[in-house]
Structure 1
Amino acid sequence: MYTHHQQISIGGAPAANAKGALIMLHGRGASASDMMQLAGQLNTKEMTIYAPQATNSSWYPYSFLAPVQENEPALSSAIALIDEVVAKALADDFTADKIYFAGFSQGACLTLEYITRNAKQYGGAVAFTGGLIGEEINLGNYKGDFAGTPVLITTGDPDPHVPVSRVEESVAILQGMNADVTLKVYKGRPHTITHNEIVLANQHVFV
């Protein structure tokens, strides 16, 4: 098992001039540079982009639906690394309501897990194909109030890695914590990010 080292790519607008911070989490087998390319398709020209890199290009070893202990210590290490990235954004003078999150697949699961464990009014979040982590959802992990934070969650039906039932369960939990959630399910969509999802992200979160 592995832990994550602090490797963070930073791009976009310089923090001193930026209107917001965007923390981007890549999928399994992908990289921080992939997320930097994705940022170029989003309305993020006036944002500072923070993209951490997972050790071995994977945030945790098994499915997000595996028992949590099987994905430890990697999962806790990943959560801690996001905490460090958030701390860096705060140190760069971004308040929480100016901090945004976006992730794909494994990175989308991690995005939702992090923000729901640390709910507050963020700028917004996008989970391209993801749900809350664990064989069973542990409601005891989640606390706080999103105070209307816009959250977009998209997925395919069926998706080879993320069941729609878990996505819907996750949506209900975030809504119960006062997130303004938009869910879009695409019938027969492959495990990817489509142009339509980029458009939705720009309409609902990166406005």
Structure 2
Amino acid sequence: MSQHLAPLALGGAAPDRARYGLVLVHGRGGTAADILGLGDALALPDVARAAPQAEGRSWWPTSFLAPHDQVTPFVEAGLSAIEEAIETLVQTGLPRSRIALAGFSQGACLALEYAARRGDVMAVFGLSGGLVGTGDAEGRPSEALYGHGPKRFDYSTSLKGTKAYISVHDQDPHIPRQRAQDSADIFHKLGAETTLHILQGAGHGITETDITALRAALNQ
């Protein structure tokens, strides 16, 4: 099954005049136009932005923790949408080496998955997210994964020189802290300069710490 993607939402500087590019990926129930507002919060007028739109405002209908075959077709469609957004910026003047990727919730999972599988981005920011994984692993469902089984993370991408930032609340209703920690460990092993930011308490959202980290990466 594949998704029919709406046109990209664009904002910020013209790509041929921008210092950096930023591809933003919305979460469940969000829109491309909504997530472009995150770019506005950065207050960086020299950043070109592009945001793909998921059909029905959702990249997949279930949890990203679900068995691999249940999410794979949707994940593949989402990765293609990200690639399209990046290529739009590249074709209008920005090299991939100056394009960062950021997403929230489902969008964070997609952004992280894209970077782990394909690389070739300046930085990736998974705001309340974790890796989807490359397949199901042996092992029983666990409370740490909200009743789901473990996944494999078979990536061979070199992320040396790439910044990876992952954030999650200690009690996030959608993103297990364990999956965020495992994702950070994977990015570290792939060579990325990795930061894991865990907020105490319950919550699921973008924080001022996230905005500050993203702004710092795009304001060099």
Same structural fold, with TM-score higher than 0.5 when normalized by the shorter chain: yes
Deviations 1:18-63 (A, max 9, x none): 1111100000000011111111112532111000100000011110
Deviation of 1:89 after TM superposition, in Å, equals 2.0
1:2 Cα deviation after fit:
4.8
Q: Is the 8 A contact 2:5 2:52 kept in 1?
A: no
Contact 1:2 1:55 in 2 (8 A): no
TM-score, L = length of structure 1: 0.92
Matches within 5 A, 1:22-171: 22-120=22-120, 122-134=121-133, 136-140=150-154, 142-171=155-184
Deviation of 1:148 after TM superposition, in Å, equals 2.0
Q: Rg bigger for which structure?
A: 2
For residue 197 of structure 1, what is the aligned residue in structure 2?
210
Equivalence for 1:177: 190
Residue type of the alignment partner of 1:30: G
Displacement of 1:77 in angstroms is: 1.0
1:206 aligns with 2:218: yes
3-state SS in 2 of match to 1:151? strand
List runs of 5+ in structure 2 lacking aligned partners: 134-148
Distance 2:195 2:166 in 1: 6
Partner residue, 1:187: 200
Quote the offset at 1:202 in angstroms.
2.1
Q: Give, as a single letter, the amino acid of the residue that structure 1 aligns with 2:128.
A: T
Q: Provide, for residues 85-120 of structure 1, a one-character-per-residue CA deviation record: whole Å limited to 9, x for no partner.
A: 222222123222101111001100000001100123
Whole-angstrom CA distance in 2 between matches of 1:21 and 1:153: 19
Q: 1:148 aligns to what SS in structure 2?
A: coil
1:136 Cα offset (Å): 3.5
Q: How many residues align?
A: 204
TM-score (norm 2): 0.87
* Aligned-residue RMSD, C-alpha: 1.6
How far residue 189 of structure 1 moved from its aligned partner, in angstroms, is: 4.1
Q: Are the equivalent residues in 1 in contact too, given 2:24–2:102 (CA < 8 A)?
A: yes
Residues of 2 paired with 1:17 and 1:137: CA distance? 42
SS in 1 for 2:126: strand
Percent identity between the aligned chains? 33
